Chains A and B, each alone.
Chain A
Amino acid sequence: MKKYHSTILIVDDDANDLVLIERAFRDIGVTGPIHTIIGGQEAIAYMLGHGKYSDRSVYAYPTFITTDLKMPGKDGFAVLEHLKINPEWAVIPTVVLTSSRDLDDIKKAYMLGASSYHVKPNTPDGLHQLLKVLHDYWMSCEVPEVDSAGRQLHTNSKGKLGERFAQT
């Protein structure tokens, strides 16, 4: 089903980038909640609902995530890994947005389940264009059903034929 609300999570260790990326989202017309998260550790805490993030009415499950790769402590790979090993989260589109063009980084990110990989554009215009494409694309995608807090719901298999997705 289409999302009836969209929450964007921006993960980066650089406060300037967080400001610029959030501003760019706003500039291209995003009105929904955007949470800027400093560092991978914080991002994982958000997903687990630790501390202030337990209030899902404020810190809802994100519709999609952009994450930097090179961050002190838990880095972008750790965020991807956490998503990958938690099936409930693995379905959230996670876009890597980084300065690194390193081929190993690119490969590793995709192996850990990144939805796409982008190098941060050097110019403000370039950033606008990229974020618009990403936002428009992911907002047009079908996603698993969630409740009003953004939590994923069990699928209702009643009356359907054939094998169903295994529920946990």
Chain B
Amino acid sequence: METNILKEGGLTADRNGTLNPPAPQYEFPEAADPANGRLQAEVSERCRVEAALRASELSYRRLFEAAKDGILILDVATGRIKDVNPFLVELLGFSHAEMSGKTVGELSPFKDVVSNEVMLERLQKDGYVRYEDLPLETRDGRQIAVEFVCNVYQAGDQNVIQCNVRDITKRKAGEMAALRLAAIVESSDDAIVGKNLNGIITTWNKGAERIFGYAADEIVGTSVLRLIPADRQDEENQILNKIKAGETMEHFETVRQTKAGQLIDISITVSPIKDSTGKVIGVSKVARDITERKALTEKISQMNVELEQRVLERTEQLQAANEEMEAFSYSVSHDLRAPLRHVQGFVSLLEKEAGASLSQASLRHLTTISQSAKRMGNLIDDLLAFSRIGRAEMQKVKVNLDQLVRETLVDFQAETKARNLSVTIHPLAAVRADRALLRLVLVNLISNAVKFTGKRAEAKIEIGCAPGGDGETVVYVRDNGAGFDPEYSGKLFGVFQRLHDQSEFAGTGIGLANVRRIIQRHGGRVWAEGALDRGATFYFSIPE
């Protein structure tokens, strides 16, 4: 379909706006006489002028067609669109036909932003309307921003309204990005400083003001050397040389001077600013005040030194305590035992020398003295063993519990041969433990079970694994012996704690204390269940 409005200008355009040059419209007959000649000349002249006009119009038309701004031509009276250039067709996505004959306000992109009446009124009054920033939605839903300017001007004897629509979407986005960047730079805690290749400061943010104390207007345009302490002035040249070579300096730690003359520790990253051709045209410097961080680092390293010192002291104290313990054990074994040996020795001598003349009661007293001395000797031995268990070095290996239990039980064979005692061994797991110490645990627990079932006609001992928490193996030793009063179960594992009379069941009361000590050294727990005369179950756990 051809448009009529274009025909008036002698041009035709298809609906895509492509121009078709005008075909020659005037044909001149051969000149016959002078009058004809004048006429011919006149006609020729008019033709020339018209041709010139057409050429001029054509060149404007071409501008209209090729413009990189959108152009609308409006009817002055009605404000209806008379013409639209291809750029605007492209920009808004509506065809020439769709826009022709409508007012601007009727076009859907402008519907909510431009009122035809208001626009016309202002155009009539001022001959000029300008919207700096109109947000529009194109036919395909893109959000764009345009600058919209309308002018009324005279073309020949009639007024024409020409509207220019400039797409400013990209420019606006660029401006926004720049603003955002500027805001980020401005609000940064770090000092962000621009300078030129002569070291003259060109930009100065709030962070820089805060760190160095200078306001932007008092330092921009002056040399960066103002910030550098006298003994470091060389640094600036070194930095500039690197930058000129296109290099970046990252996290360079140095000292700078504030306006107040205070020296501060800073970490700076300096990078070249390059133009689009890659030429270095300036320097950007990001500086961070690390005074606090440095102070903290120093404090931490100082604390580390103190900590190490304390660890050393503690280790020394521990070593001293250990040595003292060794000396104590030595002394106990050597010095405490001697008097006991003497008591027994001299009682024995007395029995030999005066035995015949002593009464039965006196002889019993001598026996008691001797037995007491012997018992004390056993207590000392046990105490020494207990202290050794606490200090012995542990060698953890994989221990087959079943095998260890069977091996341990062999030790009790002689003792239990004459008794009616049954031992049941349930399936046992393997554990990681010190084998010798774990054996001591089993010896103590089994020995207790054997001892406290001594008065049972049918003694029963059970050894097995009980369900435990994650990552631990729980082992129990159960007997049907004398049991214990649960009220005192807390005392079971104490050193020299006994819940039964010596006359009833002999012992020093160190066995379970040893058990607990060994298990605790393995990171495990010990506990017991039982009731008086109803047997006891002792549990221990070994972590994996």
Instruction: Please determine whether chains A and B interact with each other in the same assembly.
Output: yes
Q: What class of interface size applies to chain B in its complex with A?
A: 10 to 19
What residues on B are CB-neighbors of A102 within 8 Å? 330
User: Counting CB contacts under 8 A, is A23 at the interface?
Assistant: yes
User: Counting CB contacts under 8 A, is A127 at the interface?
Assistant: yes
User: Counting CB contacts under 8 A, is A32 at the interface?
Assistant: no
User: Counting CB contacts under 8 A, is A100 at the interface?
Assistant: yes
**Distance between Cα atoms of A70 and B341 in the complex (Å):** 16
Pick from B330, B345, B374, B377: contact of A100, CB under 8 Å:
B330
Of B15-23, B332-340, B420-428, B478-486, the one with at least 4 CB within 8 A of chain A: B332-340
Interchain nearest-CB distance for B371 vs A (Å): 11
B335, B337, B345, B349: residue with the most chain A Cβ atoms closer than 10 Å: B345
Pair A100/B333 contact, Cβ less than 8 Å: yes
Decide yes or no: A100 and B346 within 8 Å by CB, A122-B340, A122-B341, A122-B377 being known contacts. no
What residues on A are CB-neighbors of B377 within 8 Å? 122
**Distance between Cα atoms of A70 and B334 in the complex (Å):** 9
What residues on B are CB-neighbors of A17 within 8 Å? 338, 341-342
Pair B374/A122 contact, Cβ less than 8 Å: yes
Pair A14/B374 contact, Cβ less than 8 Å: no
Decide yes or no: A122 and B337 within 8 Å by CB, A16-B345, A127-B345 being known contacts. yes
User: Counting CB contacts under 8 A, is A101 at the interface?
Assistant: yes
- Which residues of B from 324 to 370 have beta carbons under 8 Å from A? 330, 333-335, 337-338, 340-342, 344-346, 348-349
What residues on A are CB-neighbors of B334 within 8 Å? 70, 98-100
Pair B342/A101 contact, Cβ less than 8 Å: no
**Distance between Cα atoms of A100 and B377 in the complex (Å):** 14
What residues on A are CB-neighbors of B345 within 8 Å? 16, 20, 124, 127
What per-residue 1/0 map shows which CB atoms of A125-161 lie under 8 Å from chain B? 0010000000000000000000000000000000000
What residues on A are CB-neighbors of B340 within 8 Å? 122
Q: Which residue of B lies closest to A121 (CB)?
A: B341
Chain B interface main SS type? helix
Q: Which residue of B lies closest to A23 (CB)?
A: B349
What residues on B are CB-neighbors of A167 within 8 Å? none
Pair A99/B348 contact, Cβ less than 8 Å: no
What residues on A are CB-neighbors of B333 within 8 Å? 99-101
Pair B374/A123 contact, Cβ less than 8 Å: yes
What residues on B are CB-neighbors of A121 within 8 Å? 341
Pick from A16, A120, A124: contact of B348, CB under 8 Å:
A124
Pair A122/B344 contact, Cβ less than 8 Å: yes
- Which residues of B from 257 to 308 have beta carbons under 8 Å from A? none
Interchain nearest-CB distance for A36 vs B (Å): 14
Pick from B335, B342, B374: contact of A16, CB under 8 Å:
B342
What residues on B are CB-neighbors of A101 within 8 Å? 333
Pair B337/A16 contact, Cβ less than 8 Å: no
What per-residue 1/0 map shows which CB atoms of A9-48 lie under 8 Å from chain B? 0000010110010010000000000000000000000000
What residues on B are CB-neighbors of A99 within 8 Å? 333-335, 337-338, 341
**Distance between Cα atoms of A41 and B335 in the complex (Å):** 21
B334, B340, B341, B377: residue with the most chain A Cβ atoms closer than 10 Å: B341
Interchain nearest-CB distance for A14 vs B (Å): 6
Interchain nearest-CB distance for B367 vs A (Å): 13
Interchain nearest-CB distance for A48 vs B (Å): 28
Pair A123/B344 contact, Cβ less than 8 Å: yes
**Distance between Cα atoms of A110 and B346 in the complex (Å):** 31
**Distance between Cα atoms of A101 and B349 in the complex (Å):** 26
**Distance between Cα atoms of A16 and B348 in the complex (Å):** 13
**Distance between Cα atoms of A102 and B334 in the complex (Å):** 10
**Distance between Cα atoms of A101 and B326 in the complex (Å):** 13
What residues on B are CB-neighbors of A127 within 8 Å? 345
- Which residues of A from 63 to 117 have beta carbons under 8 Å from B? 70, 98-102
Interchain nearest-CB distance for A95 vs B (Å): 17
Q: List 11 A-B contacts (CB under 8 A).
A: A16-B342, A98-B334, A99-B333, A99-B335, A99-B341, A100-B330, A102-B330, A120-B338, A122-B374, A124-B344, A124-B348
On A, residues with C-beta under 8 Å from B are 14, 16-17, 20, 23, 70, 98-102, 120-124, 127
Top 9 A-B residue pairs of the complex, sorted by shortest distance between their CB atoms:
A124-B348, A20-B345, A16-B342, A99-B334, A124-B345, A122-B377, A99-B337, A100-B334, A122-B341
On B, residues with C-beta under 8 Å from A are 330, 333-335, 337-338, 340-342, 344-346, 348-349, 374, 377
Given pairs A16-B345, A16-B346, A99-B335, 9 additional interface contacts (CB within 8 A): A20-B341, A99-B333, A100-B333, A120-B338, A120-B341, A122-B344, A124-B344, A124-B345, A124-B349
